[in-house]
Amino acid sequence: MNGCTITGMGTALPDRVVRNEELTALFDTSDQWIRERSGIVTRRVAAGPLATEPLPPHVPGGLGTTGRLAVEAGRRALSAAGVTPDRIDLLILCTTSPDQQVPANSAAVSAALGVRGGAMDLNAACAGFTYGLVTAGGLLGAGARHVLLIGAETLTRITDWSDRSSAFLFGDGAGAAVVSSVPGEGCLLGWDLGVDGSLVDLLYTDHGAGMVMKGQEVFRRAVRVTVDSAVASLERAKVTADQIALFVPHQANIRIMETVATKLGIPTDRMASVIAETGNTSSASIPLALAGAVAAGRLSDGDLVLLAGFGAGMTWASVVWRWQATD
Ligand code: UT7
C-alpha cells in the first residue's frame, strides 16, 4: 500500500463581501450579537438578497456558482502541485449545494478542468472535505496516483433569509487539494468517520426550500462528536493532543471551535480560523482554513495537523495528518 501527501492547495471566494451590519436590512439583529455568538464578521456571498449580481440563468450541463468556485480552486491547487489535469485519477467534489440535482456537479467541473479520470460528488455536509481526504487516502493506497479533492459551496442559495437564527452563519467559497501517492506510510496517520442518521431533523434542506437548523442542539452535539472523533483519530495515529501543531476544525462557530480545542487540550493559538472572514462554508471551510494557515507560513515539514469536521446528518470526521512541505 502506498501512502499519500498533499502536493498543492487552492482556494476561491466570490467577490461580494457582506458585513454583519448589512444583515440588519433583512432581519432584527446586530453586528455585536453576531460577533459575540458566532465570531463571524463578514462572509462572501454569491446568491440571495444581498448578492450584487443575480445568479446566471441555468444552463443544463453548465457550471453554476458552486461549479465555478470549484473549478477556480481546483485549477489553483493543480497549478500549486505542478500536476496536469490529465494525471488526475479521480475528482472528488464535496458539496451540499450542487448546481443541479442530476448529474453530479463533479461532471461539469471535471470537463471544465480537463480531468479525464473518474469524478463523483460526496455529500457529508460540513464533514465532507475530511470524509473526502480519507476516501482519497484509501484510493491512493490502492494504486491511484493523484486525486483532486475539492470542497465547494453556494450555501447562500439554500439559506432561509427570513430566519435570523441561522441566516447570518452561512457563506460561499471553495478550497481544493491535490492528494498524491507516495511510497511508504505517507501523511494520513489516523482517521475516524461517523454518522448518526437519527439526527437528520437537526439540520436539513428539503427540495426547493431553505435550510432548517436547531442551532442549540447542533451546538451541543457538535462539541461532543467532534471531541470524541478527534480523540479516536489521535489514538489511531498513536499521538497525543500536545503533539498537534495545528488544529483545523470545521468553521461553524468560534465558540464551538474554541470549546473543542480546550476540551482536547490544544491551545487556541494552535487553531486555524477563517470564520471571521468567511462564515460557515460547510465543505469548503476546512480547506479554506488549512490553505490560509499554509499561506501564513504556520506549518513546517513534519508538523502534525488535526482536521475535524461535523455537520448535517449528523456526520463527523477527523484526520491526523503529517504535514509534508512541497517545493
Ligand atoms: O455547520 C454546522 C451547522 N451549524 C452549526 O454548527 C451551528 C450551531 N449553533 C450555533 O452556532 C448557535 O446555536 C447559534 C450561533 C446559531 C445561535 O447562538 P445561541 O447562543 O445558541 O443563541 P440562541 O439560539 O440561544 O438565541 C439566544 C437569543 C434568543 O433570544 P431570547 O429568546 O433569549 O430572547 C434569540 O431569539 O438570541 C436571539 N437571536 C438573535 N438576536 C439577534 C437569535 N438570532 C439572533 C440574531 N440577532 N441573528
pLDDT per residue as tens digits for the range 166-221: 999 999 999 999 999 999 999 999 999 999 999 999 999 999 999 999 999 999 99
How many angstroms separate the CA atoms of 109 and 37, rounded? 36
Q: How many CB atoms sit inside 10 A of residue 200's CB? A: 12
Does the pLDDT at position 293 exceed 90?
Answer: yes
Contact, 322 vs 304, CB < 8 A?
yes
Cell 499561506 identifies what position?
295
Q: Is 58 a catalytic residue?
A: no
Output the average pLDDT for the chain.
Answer: 96
Whether residue 100 has its Cβ less than 6 Å from ligand 1: no
**Strand ranges across the sheet with 244-249:** 188-195, 315-322, 304-311, 244-249
- Give the three cell numbers for residue 113: 478542468
SS (H, E, C) the chain: CCEEEEEEEEEECCCCEEEHHHHCCCCCCCHHHHHHHHCCCEEECCCCCCCCCCCCCCCCCCCCHHHHHHHHHHHHHHHHHCCCHHHCCEEEEECCCCCCCCCCHHHHHHHHHCCCCEEEEECCHHHHHHHHHHHHHHHHHCCCCEEEEEEEEEHHHCCCCCCCCCHHHECEEEEEEEEEEECCCCCEEEEEEEECHHHHHHEECCCCCCCEECHHHHHHHHHHHHHHHHHHHHHHHCCCHHHEEEEEECCCCHHHHHHHHHHHCCCHHHECCCHHHHCECHHHHHHHHHHHHHHCCCCCCCCEEEEEEEECCCEEEEEEEECCCCC
Q: Which domains does the chain have, with CATH numbers?
A: 3-182 (3.40.47.10), 188-322 (3.40.47.10)
Angle between helices 285-295 and 128-141 in degrees, nearest 10: 80
d(CA 308, CA 40): 19
Residue 54: pLDDT band (50, 70, 90) is: confident
- The model's pTM is 0.97
Indicate whether 50 pLDDT > 80.
yes
How many A from CA of 1 to the centre of ligand 1?
Answer: 46
Rounded to an integer, what distance in angstroms lies between the CA atom of residue 169 and that of residue 281? 9
C-alpha cell at 45: 456571498
- The contacts of residue 236 (CB under 8 Å, 6+ apart) are 189, 190, 191, 192, 320
Average the pLDDT over 48-77 and give the result: 88
How close are the terminal C-alpha atoms of the chain, in Å?
25
Among 24, 37, 285, which is best to mutate for testing ligand 1, by the most ligand atoms less than 8 A from CB?
37
Contacts of 220 (CB under 8 A, 6+ apart): none
The predicted model gives 231-259 an average pLDDT of 98
Whether 215 is in the pocket of ligand 1, judged by its Cβ within 6 Å, is yes
Please say whether the beta carbons of 268 and 262 come within 8 A. yes
CB 174 within 8 A of CB 301: no
- Catalytic residue status for 207: no
Edge-to-edge strand list for the sheet holding 146-154: 3-12, 172-182, 146-154, 90-94, 118-122
Task: From the candidates 126, 146, 187, 253, give the one annotated as an active-site residue.
Answer: 126
Quote the pLDDT of residue 87.
98
Rounded (10°) angle between helices 254-264 and 31-38: 20
Percentage of the chain modeled with pLDDT above 90 = 95
- Confidence at residue 19, expressed as pLDDT on a 0 to 100 scale: 98
Q: Residues 70-77: what's their mean pLDDT?
A: 98
Q: What is the pLDDT of residue 63?
A: 87
pLDDT tens digits, 120-145: 999 999 999 999 999 999 999 999 99
Q: Is 284 in the pocket of ligand 1 (CB under 6 A)?
A: no
126 part of the active site: yes
More confident residue, 25 or 58: 25
Which ligand 1 atom sits nearest the alpha carbon of residue 203? 3
Residue with CA closest to ligand 1 atom 2: 311
